Structure 1
Amino acid sequence: MFIDTANLEEIKLALKTGTVKGVTTNPTILKKVGKKREEQISDILSLGIEKLYVQTLGETADEMFCDYKILKSIGKKHNTKLGIKVPLSIEGLEAVARIKQDDRNVSILGTAIYSADQGIMGAIAGCDLLAPYVNRMQNNSIDSIAEISKMREFIDSRGLDTQILAASFKNSNQVVDSLVNGAHTCTIPYEIMVQMMNKDVAINAIRVFNQDGKLTL
Structure 2
Amino acid sequence: MFLDTANTEYIEKALESGIFQGVTTNPTLLLKEGENRERKIEELFSKGVPFLFVQAVGSTFNELYEDAYRIYSLAPEGKKIGVKISLNQVGVGVISKLKKEDPDHVILGTAIYSADQAILGALAQCDYLAPYVNRMSTHGIDPYEAINKTRAFIDSRKLNAQIMGASFKNSQQVVYALTSGAHTVTIPYDIYLQMIDKEIALSAIDVFNQHGEELRGM
Do the two structures share a fold, i.e. TM-score over 0.5?
yes
User: Percent identity of the aligned residues?
Assistant: 50
Structure 1 moving runs of 4+ over 3 Å: 77-81
- Aligned equivalents of 1:115 and 1:23: distance in 2? 24
Question: CA 1:208–1:81 in structure 2 vs 1: closer, same or farther (change >3 Å)?
Answer: closer
Matches within 5 A, 1:2-21: 2-21=2-21
The answer (yes or no) to whether the contact 1:81–1:106 under 8 Å persists in 2 is: no
- Aligned equivalents of 2:13 and 2:80: distance in 1? 24
Q: Which runs of 5+ in 2 are unaligned?
A: none
Give the superposition deviation at 1:129: 0.3
- Aligned equivalents of 2:8 and 2:77: distance in 1? 17
Aligned to 1:156: 155
Give the superposition deviation at 1:79: 4.8
Give 1:117's aligned amino acid: D
- Aligned equivalents of 2:206 and 2:80: distance in 1? 44
Aligned to 2:31: 31
What is the TM-score of this pair, normalised by structure 2? Answer: 0.96
The answer (yes or no) to whether the contact 2:125–2:160 under 8 Å persists in 1 is: no
What is the TM-score of this pair, normalised by structure 1? Answer: 0.97
Give 1:44's aligned amino acid: L
Root-mean-square deviation (CA), in Å?
Answer: 1.0
The answer (yes or no) to whether the contact 1:42–1:78 under 8 Å persists in 2 is: no
Aligned to 1:180: 179
Aligned to 2:131: 132
Aligned to 1:46: 46
Give the number of equivalent residue pairs. Answer: 216
The answer (yes or no) to whether the contact 1:87–1:110 under 8 Å persists in 2 is: yes
Aligned to 2:145: 146
Give 1:27's aligned amino acid: P
The CA deviation string for residues 130-183 of structure 1, in whole angstroms up to 9 with x for no partner, is 000001100111100000000000000001111000000000000000001100
Give the superposition deviation at 1:101: 2.1
Give 1:10's aligned amino acid: Y
Aligned to 1:63: 63
